[in-house]
Structure formats: structure tokens, C-alpha cells
């Protein structure tokens, strides 16, 4: 029979430690990440004043053995990183810049070098677009604000890199530019990888990581929703014997156009120029818009159609064949806003 008697205070310490670890395991979520014990840290197991008493097969007591035992080993290095970004997608007006902040966490248990690259490591283009035509004539400007691509990072510390993407002035609304930021360890940072320890804690990280960020251009974009003839009014009140909507000489035609800003920013100045149809004459002061506008007619130069009487125009029955075009000018048309534009002509 063998009996081992460590010192009583050691027994009390181990009981207390077991109780603490049990309580900690109850309140610790599974697979929580931890940097882990630093590489090179010695793990020392010491048993002091160890006493061994034993008997032979005839139950005769044998000499008592006493001694101290020390077991020492060293924690090895495990390498890894993790890359993240604050706000991976941003919408900015044309000619403006989006700023992205990347954080690379050293998940190694020792200090190591973390490298950053936009395209060198993965051989990707610096920036790609959702639509190469709508992006505008030139490439969008991409630059790292730190000016540094390699950092030595202590264990469980971070390296931060800031990236700027500037949208072209002629970019169309909603076109998106994509940039990939890469972070990677040196080739000699081995072993690397992530794993779950036997204590249910995550350690380590990947040897290389990549995050894609997107910059969305915000610009106004005006489209025609409809263009049609709203109504035809025949001169039945003046003796025409046919139907009230017959298109005959002397009849009025009311045209209607609906435009809309489908872009993500306000259109500061929107001009809609409409030529007067052949064989018709413009009906003075017939321009109207549901969104406030400046209404003008073209007679040598554009003039306000309300003050056209200041000019020597051939005006008969409120119409003038001298007007070749009309212009609606809308100011500050907000996103997702439409305006209905009407004007009237009379058939010659």
C-alpha cells in the first residue's frame, strides 16, 4: 500500500483553486477568444516537502522518502491575426471621400509583424466597380492615410490602417467601388491557425485575412417617368361641329411630362428644354410645374413667358409662332421627388 501526504496547505490551495475554476467555468461562455499565455513563459510544477510512506508485502513499514520535485516546461508560440473594419460600406456625394478604418488584431501569444496590402498580396486590382461606365472617366482615387504597410504588433495588441476612397465628380448615382484590404503574417510566423483549447477557449487566428469595403456614389439622376398628350381640346365653343377631342386646326394640345430625381442627392439645377412641335404655336403662359420652377420661352434668347409682351412678337389669340422652344428650370429637386410639367400649343 502506497500513501502520499502533501502538506495540508497544499491540499487547501488545490481545493480552493478547483472551486474557483468551477465557478469561472459556469460564468464563461464556450469558445471565448483569448490571447493565451505568452510564448516563452515557463510552466513550473513544484511539490515541496513531499513525503512517501509505504509497506512491503508483509506489511512491514519501509523507510520514509522525502524530497522536492520541480517540473519545468516552456509555452510555445502560436501565430494568428484577425482583420476587421468599422463600417464596411459608405455612401458619399461625388467628389467626396469615404474613410475606412481597418483594425488588425495580433492573436498570437507573442509579438509579430503584420503586413497590409491593397493588391500586392492577392494580385487583385486596387479598385473595381459595379459599373465601369457609370464610374466616370477616371479611376477613383484610393490611398492609405497612414503611409505604412508593415507593423510590429505586440501580443493581443492591434495595428490600425486608414483608407480613403474619393469618388469621381462625374460618377453616376449608386455606382459602387470595391477595395480589398489584405493583412498577412510573415512566412516564418509558424505554426499559425486557430483552434479550440481543451478549456473550450479559442486561441490563435488566421495567417492572412481580407476585408472588402464598398464606396457608393451619391449623385442626382433625373429621368422621364412619362411624356404624353394630356388632352386635346377642339374649338367646339367657337362653332366647330365635331367632337370635343378632335385634333383639328385651331385645337389645343396639352402636353405633360413627369420627371423624377431617382438619385441619392439633390439636383441643384434641373433644366428641361422642349421644342415646340411643328405646325403648332405656343400658347403664352401655359407652362406649369408641380415643383417650383422658372418658366421661360426661347425668342432669340430665353425670356420669362409672362413678360413676353415687352417683345415685338406676332401674338394672335394668345399664341405666337415665334416661340421655338420652352425651358423649365427647377432648383434643388430632392431625391425621390418628381415634378409634373405641362404646356399647351395650338394647331395652326
Query: Can you list the domains of the chain with their CATH numbers?
Result: 2-74 (no CATH), 81-218 (2.60.40.10), 222-347 (2.60.40)
pLDDT > 70 fraction of the chain, expressed in percent and rounded: 85
> Which residue did the predictor score with more confidence, 200 or 45?
200
DSSP-assigned beta bridge partners for residue 41: none
CA atoms of 263 and 223, how far apart (whole Å): 10
Q: Is the pLDDT of residue 54 over 50?
A: yes
Show Cβ contacts of residue 224 under 8 Å, excluding neighbours closer than 6 positions.
257, 258, 259
What average pLDDT does this structure show over 55-68?
A: 86
Q: Which of 73-82, 147-156, 163-172 has the lowest mean pLDDT?
A: 147-156
Render pLDDT for 287-340 as a digit per residue (tens, 0 to 9): 999 999 999 888 767 777 766 654 556 677 778 888 889 999 999 999 999 999
* pLDDT score, position 13: 35
Task: State pTM to two decimals.
Answer: 0.74
Separation between Cα atoms, residue 103 and residue 161, nearest integer Å:
7
pLDDT above 70 for 11: no
Cα distances from 272 to residues 55, 178, 256, 265, in angstroms, run 110, 34, 12, 19
Residue bearing the bigger pLDDT, 120 or 58: 58
CA separation for the pair 138, 132 (Å, rounded): 10
Instruction: For residue 87, give the nearest of 74, 73, 99, 71 by alpha carbon.
Output: 99
Looking at the chain, how many residues does it have? 348
Burial label, 146 (beta-carbon count in 10 A; 0-12, 13-18, 19+): middle
| Backbone torsions φ then ψ of 13, nearest 5 degrees | -65, -45
The predicted pLDDT at position 144 comes to 84
Using pLDDT thresholds of 50, 70 and 90, give the confidence band for residue 123.
low
- How large is the greatest C-alpha to C-alpha distance in the chain, in angstroms? 143
Check residues 65 and 132 and name the one with the higher pLDDT: 132
Q: Are 174 and 133 in contact (CB under 8 A)?
A: no
Residue 69 has pLDDT above 90, yes or no: no
Among 328, 320, 221, which Cα is nearest to 274's?
328
Amino acid at each position: 500500500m502506497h500513501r502520499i501526504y502533501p502538506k495540508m496547505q497544499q491540499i487547501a490551495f488545490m481545493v480552493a483553486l478547483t472551486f474557483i475554476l468551477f465557478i469561472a467555468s459556469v460564468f464563461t461562455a464556450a469558445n471565448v477568444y483569448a490571447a493565451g499565455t505568452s510564448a516563452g513563459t515557463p510552466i513550473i510544477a513544484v511539490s515541496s516537502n513531499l513525503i512517501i510512506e509505504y509497506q512491503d508485502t508483509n506489511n512491514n513499514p519501509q523507510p520514509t522518502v522525502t524530497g522536492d520535485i520541480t517540473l519545468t516546461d516552456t509555452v510555445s508560440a502560436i501565430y494568428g491575426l484577425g482583420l476587421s473594419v468599422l463600417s464596411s460600406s459608405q455612401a458619399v456625394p461625388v467628389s467626396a471621400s469615404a474613410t475606412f478604418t481597418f483594425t488588425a488584431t495580433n492573436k498570437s501569444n507573442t509579438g509579430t509583424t503584420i503586413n497590409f496590402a491593397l493588391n500586392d498580396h492577392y494580385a487583385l486590382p486596387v479598385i473595381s466597380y459595379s459599373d465601369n461606365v457609370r464610374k466616370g472617366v477616371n479611376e477613383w482615387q484610393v490611398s492609405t492615410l497612414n503611409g505604412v504597410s508593415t507593423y510590429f504588433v505586440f501580443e493581443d495588441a492591434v495595428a490600425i490602417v486608414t483608407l480613403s476612397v474619393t469618388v469621381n465628380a462625374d460618377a453616376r448615382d449608386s455606382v459602387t467601388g470595391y477595395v480589398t484590404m489584405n493583412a498577412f503574417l510573415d512566412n516564418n510566423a509558424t505554426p499559425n491557425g486557430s483552434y479550440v483549447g481543451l478549456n473550450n477557449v479559442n486561441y490563435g487566428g488566421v495567417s492572412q485575412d481580407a476585408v472588402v469595403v464598398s464606396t457608393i456614389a451619391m449623385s442626382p439622376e433625373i429621368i422621364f417617368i412619362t411624356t404624353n398628350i394630356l388632352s386635346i381640346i377642339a374649338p367646339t365653343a367657337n362653332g366647330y361641329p365635331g367632337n370635343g377631342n378632335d385634333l383639328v386646326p385651331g385645337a389645343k394640345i396639352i402636353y405633360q411630362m413627369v420627371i423624377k430625381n431617382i438619385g441619392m442627392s439633390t439636383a441643384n439645377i434641373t433644366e428641361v428644354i422642349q421644342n415646340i412641335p411643328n405646325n403648332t404655336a405656343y400658347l403664352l403662359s401655359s407652362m406649369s410645374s408641380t415643383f417650383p420652377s422658372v418658366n421661360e420661352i426661347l425668342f432669340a434668347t430665353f425670356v420669362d413667358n409672362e413678360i413676353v409682351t415687352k417683345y415685338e412678337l406676332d401674338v394672335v389669340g394668345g399664341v405666337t409662332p415665334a416661340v421655338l422652344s420652352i425651358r423649365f428650370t427647377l432648383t434643388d429637386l430632392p431625391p425621390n421627388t418628381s415634378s409634373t410639367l405641362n404646356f399647351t400649343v395650338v394647331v395652326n
